[in-house]
Amino acid sequence: MDAIKFVEQDLVETNELPDFKAGDTVSVSYTIREGNKERVQVFQGTVIQRRGSGVSETFTVRKVSGGMGVERVFPMSSPFIESIKVNKSGSVRRARIFYMRKRTGKAARIKEKLFVKTDKK
């Protein structure tokens, strides 16, 4: 193992985050510091990419707010992320769905992947 990666693993504590991928709709709760006050804010949108690996892994979430698209990049190993909740699991064919930036309205919808629960007795 590379010496730098070995040191990075020891220094950064990993968060227990759910599995999600591009196309999923997620709610990211993260801590914001304003002066000496802290509060938790929720950013809800569609994951358009996951990039990197290990400590430097990031994911980008896009939402439309006030008719304008807003994107935010979150590091996976950030201590400011309180939780990530997967609201919907989307069915897309690509790992990076940058084509969503050009789409508005009904064209910007992503088909939801439904899971069938089977009872095994």
Residue 112 within any structural domain of the chain: no
Structural domain boundaries enclosing 90 = 3-101
In 3D, which of 3, 14, 71, 7 has the Cα closest to residue 43?
71
Residue 35 within any structural domain of the chain: yes
pLDDT digits (tens, 9 = 90+) for 41-92: 999 999 999 999 888 899 999 999 988 999 999 999 888 999 999 999 999 9
Residue 73 within any structural domain of the chain: yes
The reported pLDDT for the residue numbered 4 is 74
Residue-averaged pLDDT of the chain: 88
User: What is the count of structural domains for the chain?
Assistant: 1
Residue 23 within any structural domain of the chain: yes
Query: Which CATH number is 19's domain given?
Result: 2.30.30.790
- For residue 19 the two structure tokens come to 């599995």
Phi/psi of residue 102, each to 5°?
A: -90, -10
Q: Is the pTM of this model over 0.85?
A: no
Within 10 Å of residue 26's Cβ, how many Cβ atoms?
21
Residue 57 within any structural domain of the chain: yes
Residue 110 within any structural domain of the chain: no
Most confident of 1-5, 32-36, 114-118: 32-36
Residue 81 within any structural domain of the chain: yes
